[in-house]
Structure 1
Amino acid sequence: MKLLEIQSSVRKENSVSRTLSNEFIQAWQTDRPNIQHKLRDVGINPPEHPTGLWAKANNMPPEERSPEMMAALAESEALIEELLWADYLLMGVPMYNLSVPSSLKAYLDNVIRINRTFTFDPVTYTFQGLARGKKALIITPSAANFVVGTPLGKMNFCDTYLLSVLGFIGIDEVSVVPVPDQFMPDEIRQQEIATAKAKLMDLARDW
């Protein structure tokens, strides 16, 4: 089994999403010692944003791309191959300004590509994901309680976006573990972290 861990927090230290991800992986690997694990840290090392040349190359048949076009898509191709390699995705995604970190959006723009991770039928106007057969787990700390279904949940464009884009490329078996109220007093913060950790430990047994 192969696990791709994607971290998007800009914090190297004191990151709730990184800490909980590490604890989950350690628990999950207990009964799975042969797991292959790769880390893609887009929070610390973000990918390049798509450019005009990138977009032109992306919409051109591979055999017609110039060397410059192939170079423009090289990082994207490597990220896609890494994503398709994985059986499991673990994503640490703190909510920034009601949505995902910009570095993660750049990553997703690089890996969500026509005829690589999805197809489009112009006759039927239907899409089909090409990254099927994977499971995903998303850990989403947030400043307040933006959990979907709560009064502030309608402003949660982090979880809803991720569920949509992962489903778009064929990954629809997704678990979300929120960690709300991280700008609240420490007692509340720690209780939410403990609650999230308990959920993750339960998932580690069955995921």
Structure 2
Amino acid sequence: MKLLEIQSSVRLEKSISRALSHEFIEALQNSHPDFHHQQQDVGTNPPAHPTELWTTANYLPPESRTLEMATILTESDRLIAELLWADRLVLGVPMYNFSVPSTLKAYLDNIVRVNRTFTFDPQTHTFQGLATGKKAIAIVPSAGNFVVGTPLGEMNFCDPYLRSILGFIGIEEVEIVPIPNQFMDEEIRQQEVATARLNLMNLAASW
């Protein structure tokens, strides 16, 4: 198993998504002797946002890029190579203001690239993902109960976005593990964490 862990929380010691990701990955490692693990921490070290030069370079074939263009795509190329290396993804994605952290959005803007992670056919106007054959789990803490299907679920732009953007590049098996109600009292918070932990341990046994 080749696993890429992507952490996007700006918190470290108090991060629920980081703590549960660590437990889940440890369980996977114990059951897979051929386990290989890389971490991309965009929460503490976010990639640069695309710029006008980045965008221009992205839409040119490699042989037409200047040295400056090739250089500005270096970080994106490295992140894409890392993504394509993995066959499993674990994403720690705390919900910030009903969506994904801006650090994760910057990462996704770097890896969703034409002819690298998706193609476009101008004749049929269709897109095709290139990052196929992978599975992903997203661990998603939130302040309240914004789980899709609940009364506040329509304010959850995090889960649908993750499924859509990962599916767009070919990662269609996406499991969302919610950890709601993290602004509630301690007993409720810990109940939600325990439920998510049990869910993750069950997934680790079958993933």
Aligned pairs for 1:123-202 (under 5 A) are 123-202=123-202
Q: What's the counterpart of residue 75 of structure 2?
A: 75
Inter-partner Cα distance in structure 2 for 1:175 and 1:101: 18
1:13, distance to aligned residue in structure 2 (A)? 1.1
Inter-partner Cα distance in structure 1 for 2:28 and 2:153: 29
Inter-partner Cα distance in structure 2 for 1:105 and 1:60: 23
Inter-partner Cα distance in structure 2 for 1:49 and 1:133: 28
Q: Which runs of 5+ in 2 are unaligned?
A: none
Inter-partner Cα distance in structure 2 for 1:26 and 1:71: 36
Letter in 1 for 2:59: N
SS at match of 2:164: helix
Letter in 2 for 1:161: Y
Letter in 2 for 1:22: H
SS at match of 2:73: helix
Aligned pairs for 1:1-207 (under 5 A) are 1-207=1-207
SS at match of 1:30: helix
1:190, distance to aligned residue in structure 2 (A)? 0.3
Inter-partner Cα distance in structure 1 for 2:197 and 2:163: 21
Letter in 1 for 2:152: L
- Identical positions, percent: 68
1:27, distance to aligned residue in structure 2 (A)? 1.0
Inter-partner Cα distance in structure 1 for 2:28 and 2:104: 24
Letter in 1 for 2:56: K
Give the TM-score, by structure 1 length. 0.99
Q: How many residues align?
A: 207
RMSD: 0.5
Give the TM-score, by structure 2 length. 0.99
SS at match of 1:175: strand
1:34, distance to aligned residue in structure 2 (A)? 2.2
Q: Deviations over 1:102-150 (max 9, x none)?
A: 0000000000000000000111110000000000000000000000000
Q: Deviations over 1:52-111 (max 9, x none)?
A: 000000011111000000001000000000000001000000000000000000000000
Letter in 2 for 1:78: R
Letter in 2 for 1:28: L
Letter in 1 for 2:14: N
Q: Deviations over 1:166-206 (max 9, x none)?
A: 00000001111000000011110000000000000000100
SS at match of 2:138: strand
